[in-house]
Amino acid sequence: MVPTVMAQVCKHEAHWYAVNPGCAAAQESMRLRPVVAGGMLRVVARDVRLSNGLVLPRGATITGSNLAVLNNPHSWEAPERFMPVRPHARPLFAVLADA
């Protein structure tokens, strides 16, 4: 159910930016210079072994980096550039959900 809801939200968000270019510019500004550079805290639900051999134990608190996600060249073309039309192609909400 969640992927279906996400698809509907992303479709709506892409349409919203197409008819509201000012919102697209604001969204791109937030992507380029997020207010919160850290990420949301998460608690590890089960032991996880990472590809480098490090083990994240169940119950550990972890966080990701918003800056890393929002500047990932695998998700964004020329992530260092300000491109207000960017949200038309890939809504920010979809990228954050994929991370």
Kindly report the pTM of this predicted structure: 0.54
Higher confidence at residue 4 or residue 15?
Answer: 15
- Helix intervals (H) in the chain: 2-19, 21-32, 66-70, 86-89, 92-98
pLDDT tier, 13 (very low <50, low <70, confident <90, very high otherwise): low
| Chain segment 45-86, per-residue pLDDT in tens | 999 999 999 999 999 999 888 888 888 888 888 899 998 877
Q: What percent of the chain has pLDDT over 70?
A: 65
Burial class (CB in 10 A: 0-12, 13-18, 19+), 38: exposed
Strand-pair partners of 62 = 42
Domain spans in the chain, listed from the N-terminal domain onward: 2-36+65-98
